[in-house]
Amino acid sequence: MSGYGHNGVLVRTILDTGSGGLVRRLTEVPAGTRHDGTAGPGGQLWFVIMGSGLLEPAGWLLRPGVGLWLPPGTHYGLAAGVAGPLRLDCAELPAGDGPVPAGSAQAGGPALADLRDAPTEVTGDRRFRVLFGPGRGCGAATQFVGEIPPGRAPGHSHPYDETVLVLDGQGMLHAGVDSRPLALGDCVHLPPGRQHCLENTGRRTLRVLGVFHPGGSPAVKTGSS
């Protein structure tokens, strides 16, 4: 589902896990314009894919590789620069089961993380960098960028919902007995406990933007085979 908002802003839903679960949307703000909104009851994790601009009223610079955590009810403005459109991924988190505890990460204000400042972590032959997660500014979910070299890793599962957006490269998703090709812009959902692996079938690194809910480390895997 897609739609144009004020100032020609394009918002497109690329994944909806249903039943009040994770929703992933791509938002494109035309050059020199602004998109205003309010984070939903579960909060939102944003990631800048292309372009530059500002997050207002904070005045934070937006550039590719920057992630944002907007707690529930946060009012925001995304102001695109004049050089070109500002394109972002938005992961809308499910609403919590009750009021947000005072002093928790969700009870605080918005936060910004830059991929350049995130340490590289390694699991097998795969690398990942976490922008947000428990103990890293967002207790509700984890946002990370993973890098997968050519080849296929063993199958595994995670104890949480996982959604993955392809940022660069090509590959195959193997989930259970099913396999499907992956290309730039594809987004997939992997429920808790689902055996899967991502295979890089190309020559360059396959880069993905992952979101886990609830939060957890990409290195935590179960049932590897």
* Gap between the Cα atoms of 160 and 140, Å rounded: 12
* Domain shared by 90 and 119, yes or no: no
Helices and strands per DSSP (H, E), number in the chain: 0, 21
For residues 73-102, average pLDDT: 84
Q: Check residue 123 and give its pLDDT.
A: 84
Q: Given pLDDT bands bounded at 50, 70 and 90, which one contains residue 177? A: confident
Q: Check residue 203 and give its pLDDT.
A: 92
Provide the whole-model pTM.
Answer: 0.90
For residues 196-213, average pLDDT: 94
* Domain shared by 130 and 109, yes or no: no
Joined tokens for residue 173: 């998703």
Q: Check residue 223 and give its pLDDT.
A: 58
* Domain shared by 177 and 120, yes or no: yes
Peptide bond into 214 cis (omega under 30): yes
* Gap between the Cα atoms of 185 and 164, Å rounded: 10
- 36 is in which domain, residue-wise? 2-96+105-113
* Domain shared by 60 and 152, yes or no: no
Count the Cβ atoms, other than its own, within 10 Å of residue 171.
Answer: 23
Give the domain-ending residue among 88, 113, 138: 113
221: in domain: no
* Domain shared by 109 and 137, yes or no: no
Query: How much of the chain is helix, strand and coil, in % rounded to 5?
Result: 5, 50, 45
Higher pLDDT, 160 or 186: 186
> Which tens digits make up the pLDDT trace of 5-51?
677 999 999 999 988 889 999 999 999 999 999 999 999 999 999 99
> Which tens digits make up the pLDDT trace of 46-73?
999 999 999 999 999 999 999 999 999 9
Give the domain-ending residue among 49, 81, 113: 113
Which of 103-112, 168-177, 210-219 is the most confident on average? 168-177
Question: Three-class SS of residue 221?
Answer: coil
Looking at this protein, which amino acid is placed at residue 142? Answer: T
64: in domain: yes
Joined tokens for residue 203: 């020559």
Q: Number of structural domains, the chain? A: 2
> Which tens digits make up the pLDDT trace of 96-121?
744 444 334 444 689 999 999 999 99
Query: What DSSP character marks residue 176?
Result: T
36: in domain: yes
223: in domain: no
* Domain shared by 46 and 137, yes or no: no
| CATH value at residue 86 | 2.60.120.10
> Which tens digits make up the pLDDT trace of 113-151?
999 999 999 988 889 999 999 999 998 999 999 999 999
